[in-house]
Each structure stands twice: as structure tokens, then as C-alpha cells.
Amino acid sequence: FSSLLQLLSNVLLWDGIVQEDTVRDLGLSKLLNRYLLLNLLNTPPGPDNIEKCNKVVACLPERWFQDLKSGSTLPELQNFCQHLLQ
């Protein structure tokens, strides 16, 4: 998990340098939804899972959420949000 999280963090650091769509596709659609979420879903509920989710959220660029309405999220984060609500 930690290697994938570091890779996600590094990919998301390219936001603002590389096109946002490219960064979101690689970081969220590919890394988060394909690999990190699978790990999170297989981690038993509890403090370890919460800590992993917090680390994922900490990687996300805040500016992606500035224009969103309250209670909404990015389409690529729907599955992650569903996991958080469970």
C-alpha cells in the first residue's frame, strides 16, 4: 500500500504542470480506483483503514474541489467515497 500511495502522491504533484485530465486519469482512475481501492476494500474496518484513507485524501489537490457543490465529488472519486461511507 505504501508504495502505491507514494506513487499516487508523486503523480498528483504533476497537477498544474501536466493537463489536469491526464493527472486525474492516471492518479485517480488508474492508481486509486484500480489498485489502492482494492487494498482498502480488503483492509478490515478500523483504525488502520481510516489511516490509509486519510493518507489518500491528503494527496488530493485541494483546487480540484473548489468549484464543487456541497455534498458532491469528482466522478473518479465515487467508488472511494462509497468506501468512506460504509
What confidence score (pLDDT) does residue 71 get? 82
Tally the domains of the chain: 1
Instruction: Kindly give the parts of the chain with pLDDT less than 70.
Output: none
- For residue 77, give its domain range: 2-85
Contacts of 2 (CB under 8 A, 6+ apart): none
What confidence score (pLDDT) does residue 15 get? 94
